[in-house]
């Protein structure tokens, strides 16, 4: 079968590899769609802390069950599925307390084991989740990033939250803004430094401002100089680490979904003086995936997918994704 293989820094190639063998606990999925994620940029650049080549990329995907031992579970050959891509140790304190998504040695398909940017992918049966038969493949491949947004939004209490700011209008920021808007009557606005991303946010019906001065002025004007109640930090950039405290009212809350590649400056005095709450949000639980699957039908997710390519064109797809301009989700359609 063909697979998009990361071989080493800046080496992403389409290669012929054997179809994986299965144990009784595993299923072979025929991949319909698989998305690029910001973290794939880090893998291909050779700066991801764990991913080592040779490795098939891809952790955001959907497909159909092609082969497996069908005895003793709810799945059948031909079922449309996505996969919960986390691999947890089952032994650390997080795993033992039911929080395996923050496992001390958390691993993922597409980072630590071969992923789904290929004709087929091997996944443990217990990691599969059924998708509605009518769901388009392009939406099935967005369930994983949508689950990131669902988890982030679930992390902070929403009582007395009227005004929300989302920092960063990449896929996670946009999805977070959509989930936050759909779950309450709060005013949600989003910021980014790229005009093309703000344009897409506007098309999705989200109030959007240029990051920094414009966002700050608009928020302060709209909130009587108080600031918003809740910030979702989805940029993972040094400038948004500064904005996240300055945009909040006293006793406001920050949920950090953006992955910061290195330590950055944070205004701890603002956290101290305004008694802010800072909450980390990492990936998702299986329940978040289920929520994402049921929410997917009601959100305008089709607009988030801006490009799709056949598997053979994976390098062009990657260049398109890395180029960034006018790009949100880039999908590979292997079959």
Reduce the DSSP state of residue 335 to 3 states and report it.
coil
DSSP 8-state symbol, 25: T
Q: Compare residues 127 and 163 and give the one whose CB is closer to Zn ion.
A: 127
| Cα–Cα distance, 202 to 303 (Å, whole number) | 11
Q: Compare residues 252 and 258 and give the one whose CB is closer to Zn ion.
A: 258
**Least distance in angstroms from the C-beta of 40 to Zn ion:** 8
Question: Is residue 333 near Zn ion by the rule CB under 5 A?
Answer: no
Draw the binding track, 20-59, toward Zn ion (x: CB under 5 A; -: no contact).
Answer: -----------------x----------------------
- 200 contacts 226 by C-beta, under 8 angstroms: no
Return the residue of 3, 27, 95, 295 that touches Zn ion, per CB under 5 A.
95
**Least distance in angstroms from the C-beta of 329 to Zn ion:** 10
Radius of gyration, alpha carbons of the chain: 20
Tokens linked to 311: 């598997």
**Least distance in angstroms from the C-beta of 115 to Zn ion:** 10
Question: Is residue 103 near Zn ion by the rule CB under 5 A?
Answer: yes
Q: Compare residues 112 and 226 and give the one whose CB is closer to Zn ion.
A: 112
Q: Compare residues 86 and 228 and give the one whose CB is closer to Zn ion.
A: 86
Question: Is residue 328 near Zn ion by the rule CB under 5 A?
Answer: no
**Least distance in angstroms from the C-beta of 93 to Zn ion:** 8
Tokens linked to 147: 């689950």
**Least distance in angstroms from the C-beta of 37 to Zn ion:** 3
Instruction: State the CB neighbour count (10 A cutoff) for residue 63.
Output: 29
- Interface size with Zn ion, residues (CB under 5 A): 6
E strands present in 168-233:
187-192, 207-210, 228-233
Q: What string of DSSP letters covers 47-75? A: --SS--SSEE---EEEEEEEEE--TTSS-
Q: Is the peptide bond before 181 cis (omega within 30 degrees of 0)?
A: no
Tokens linked to 313: 């064109």
Return the residue of 17, 92, 102, 113 that touches Zn ion, per CB under 5 A.
92
Burial of 176 (0-12, 13-18, 19+ CB in 10 A): buried
Q: Which stretch binds Zn ion (CB under 5 A): 6-14, 80-88, 172-180, 184-192?
A: 80-88
Q: Compare residues 228 and 331 and give the one whose CB is closer to Zn ion.
A: 331
Q: Which residues sit at the interface with Zn ion, rule CB under 5 A?
A: 37, 88-89, 92, 95, 103
């Amino acid at each position: 079968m063909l697979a998009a293989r990361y071989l080493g820094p800046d080496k992403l190639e389409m290669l012929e590899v054997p179809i994986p063998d299965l144990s009784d606990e595993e299923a072979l999925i025929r991949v319909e769609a698989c998305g690029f994620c910001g973290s794939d940029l880090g893998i291909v650049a050779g700066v991801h802390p764990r991913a080592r080549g040779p490795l098939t990329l891809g952790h955001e995907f959907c497909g159909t069950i092609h082969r497996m031992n069908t005895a003793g579970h709810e799945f059948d050959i031909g079922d449309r599925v996505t996969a919960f891509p986390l691999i947890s140790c089952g032994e650390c304190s997080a795993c033992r307390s039911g929080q395996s998504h923050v496992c001390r040695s958390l691993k993922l398909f597409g980072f630590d084991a071969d992923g789904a940017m290929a004709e087929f992918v091997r996944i443990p049966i217990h990691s599969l989740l059924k998708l509605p038969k009518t769901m388009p493949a392009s939406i099935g491949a967005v369930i994983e990033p949508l689950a990131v947004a669902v988890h982030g939004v679930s992390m902070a209490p929403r009582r007395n939250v009227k005004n929300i700011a989302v920092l960063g209008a990449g896929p996670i920021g946009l999805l977070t803004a959509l989930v936050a808007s759909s779950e309450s009557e709060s005013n949600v606005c989003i910021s980014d430094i790229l005009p093309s991303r703000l344009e897409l946010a506007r098309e999705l019906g989200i109030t959007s401002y240029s990051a920094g001065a414009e966002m700050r002025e608009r928020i302060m004007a709209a909130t009587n100089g108080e600031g918003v109640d809740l910030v979702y930090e989805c940029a993972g950039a040094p400038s948004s680490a500064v904005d996240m405290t300055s945009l909040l009212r006293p006793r406001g809350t920050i949920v950090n979904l953006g992955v910061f590649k290195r330590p950055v400056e944070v205004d701890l005095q603002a956290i101290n003086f305004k008694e802010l709450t800072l909450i980390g949000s990492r990936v998702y639980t299986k329940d978040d995936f289920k929520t994402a699957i049921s929410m997917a039908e009601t959100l305008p997710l089709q607009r988030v997918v801006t490009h799709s390519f056949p598997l053979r064109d994976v390098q062009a797809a990657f260049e398109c994704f890395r180029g960034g301009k006018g790009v949100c989700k880039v999908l590979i359609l292997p079959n």
